[in-house]
Structure 1
């Protein structure tokens, strides 16, 4: 099983009203939530660790998880509000305004976590949950406690405007990257994380030096690159698609990579550390294929495995 660890929230997606103005429609979302849902739809065994409200928005999240075959046994339900992310679209590209004070997701503590079952062979961490306390420290502690014998992937999905203390945030990410086997970033994330470096390649290789065996860099419509610690570089083109919006595209890419590695029998700490160029390339290509479906429809709506046949 793959255990995804991080936020589940409500994306408020803009839609034209019957009067001709713009309204917002609630959709289940959140970077880590989206990855878990995509994994479930792709047929992977997956669960989610997150704080979810007992309010009506939390019920929306729970319904989507169950419908997408995601285990909810590790979730923490709380009588706090749900996190909201109002989505702003410009030429299909999404930016976000977050409302996260005192929410069910943000306020989880280490004592709230259930024990990770032995059947969990891989952990995925990411999203805004790694940027705000106390949940960020809770997830970092979970990685510290449970990551040594499991394959670990981290996608920080950086939102600079959401970071209250940059020094603390950078230090936390550095500790998590040191324990990660796979780190995925967008090209914009990479420039923020590694401001020094003449090229994207140079910046990405600096990340491999922090500990991960594989660094993935997504570049929107230009595709994605992979960098093995051995020095090999992989390039995969983006799937051709009529782009509706990019909400959840990177999260779905993550799911595709993890699902393919699991299918190949390579999603263990030891095997990821010995990943061949061919298997890494197959994982990137599948991630791009899955993401190509997501961008072709509104919101974070990952495909089912049957849609990829």
Structure 2
């Protein structure tokens, strides 16, 4: 298999199903997962991309497989196993209240050693994050995969994407992944969850101490975002759009930053930040975690 046939970008971690209570006894299922969403964003922007992870063979897994194909992801990296699906039960939407059902579920069976031969040589960028790094044995396997790729020159990004199951035991993984990452994305809400005893400024400083060389994308919802690299920090407000849904905006911004850094590495920090904010804004203008297209992003950049 030629390296040219393999994708340049991989997001590795969890693809799951959100079971969302819409009212009383009504529930709706939605395909999702933070790392899976990032893969779809990069593919939508136009780079050959794969999601590396494992899904179930039942109706939930079949929906994820179909959505992965529709997104143009390289399905050779998607593993299917006859184990239960990973479900996020969102029993209240405002404010979000949720828990996960995933004992012995399919995502935990992901085997990165079974990826297409030569994947490391073909890959320019590898993204990690989400709850996959808080679920064993998957988390340890993903850290091992990241170390393997890092030694071979692959650039790595990491978005902790804090969720309730990331207790004190998660901090070892946070330290390991931060040390390996070239880019770390973190939101103000992530910092509150990860470092509950610290204010945002102190929490961000603590995170940066784990790897001072890493570029950090710090998002603050409607208040905009900052991009930090070494001693340089640039800040920008959000790009105004008619907000339909903020679900997936952070994943869109992360995917946008990866795309910008890969396709226009010579651009200054401010341009990279502007592009990733446009991706986040374009995602907010659509229902659900819908990946923005390059045309939608460019329209926002030029308006």
C-alpha distance in 1 between matches for 2:246 and 2:104: 28
User: Does the 8 Å CA contact 1:6/1:33 hold for their aligned counterparts?
Assistant: yes
> How far did residue 176 of structure 1 move?
1.3
Q: Which moved more, 1:51-60 or 1:113-122?
A: 113-122
Rate the CA distance shift 1:135–1:244 in 2: closer, same or farther, 3 A: same
For 1:97, the equivalent position in structure 2 comes to 99
Q: Give the SS at the match of 2:50.
A: strand
> How far did residue 109 of structure 1 move?
4.6
Q: Give the SS at the match of 2:217.
A: strand
C-alpha distance in 1 between matches for 2:112 and 2:128: 15
C-alpha distance in 2 between matches for 1:292 and 1:31: 17
Taking the TM superposition and a 5 Å limit, the aligned residue runs for 1:180-219 are 180-194=181-195, 200-211=200-211, 212-219=213-220
> How far did residue 189 of structure 1 move?
1.5
C-alpha distance in 2 between matches for 1:84 and 1:280: 37
C-alpha distance in 1 between matches for 2:25 and 2:239: 31
Q: Give the SS at the match of 2:108.
A: coil
Higher helix share: 2
C-alpha distance in 1 between matches for 2:97 and 2:219: 17
Which of 48, 52, 61 pairs up with 1:49?
A: 52
For 2:5, the equivalent position in structure 1 comes to none
TM-score by length of 2: 0.87
Structure 2 unaligned spans of 5+: 1-7
For 1:174, the equivalent position in structure 2 comes to 175
For 1:130, the equivalent position in structure 2 comes to 133
User: Does the 8 Å CA contact 1:48/1:71 hold for their aligned counterparts?
Assistant: yes
For each residue in 1:185-218, what CA deviation from the matched residue of structure 2 results, as whole angstroms up to 9, or x when unmatched?
A: 1112123434565x63443233233224211111
Structure 1 stretches of 4+ with a deviation exceeding 6 A read: none
For each residue in 1:5-24, what CA deviation from the matched residue of structure 2 results, as whole angstroms up to 9, or x when unmatched?
A: 110011224446xxxx5522
> How far did residue 280 of structure 1 move?
2.1
Q: Give the SS at the match of 1:128.
A: helix
> How far did residue 112 of structure 1 move?
4.7
C-alpha distance in 2 between matches for 1:34 and 1:140: 20
Rate the CA distance shift 1:129–1:293 in 2: closer, same or farther, 3 A: same
Q: Give the SS at the match of 2:255.
A: helix
For each residue in 1:126-166, what CA deviation from the matched residue of structure 2 results, as whole angstroms up to 9, or x when unmatched?
A: 1000001011111011011112311110001111x213x52
Structure 1 unaligned spans of 5+: 267-277
Which of 98, 106, 109 pairs up with 1:107?
A: 109
Which of 28, 49, 72 pairs up with 2:31?
A: 28
Pairwise CA RMSD:
2.1
C-alpha distance in 2 between matches for 1:248 and 1:134: 26
For 1:77, the equivalent position in structure 2 comes to 80
C-alpha distance in 2 between matches for 1:124 and 1:279: 22
For 2:244, the equivalent position in structure 1 comes to 244
Whether 2:127 is the aligned partner of 1:120: answer no
C-alpha distance in 1 between matches for 2:276 and 2:97: 22
For 1:9, the equivalent position in structure 2 comes to 16
Which of 264, 287, 293 pairs up with 1:298?
A: 287
TM-score by length of 1: 0.85
For each residue in 1:154-182, what CA deviation from the matched residue of structure 2 results, as whole angstroms up to 9, or x when unmatched?
A: 001111x213x523x11122011111111
Count of matched residue positions in the alignment of Structure 1 and Structure 2: 287
User: Does the 8 Å CA contact 1:291/1:302 hold for their aligned counterparts?
Assistant: no
Rate the CA distance shift 1:201–1:74 in 2: closer, same or farther, 3 A: same
For 1:58, the equivalent position in structure 2 comes to 61
Q: Which moved more, 1:188-197 or 1:211-220?
A: 188-197
Rate the CA distance shift 1:104–1:25 in 2: closer, same or farther, 3 A: same
User: Does the 8 Å CA contact 1:94/1:246 hold for their aligned counterparts?
Assistant: no
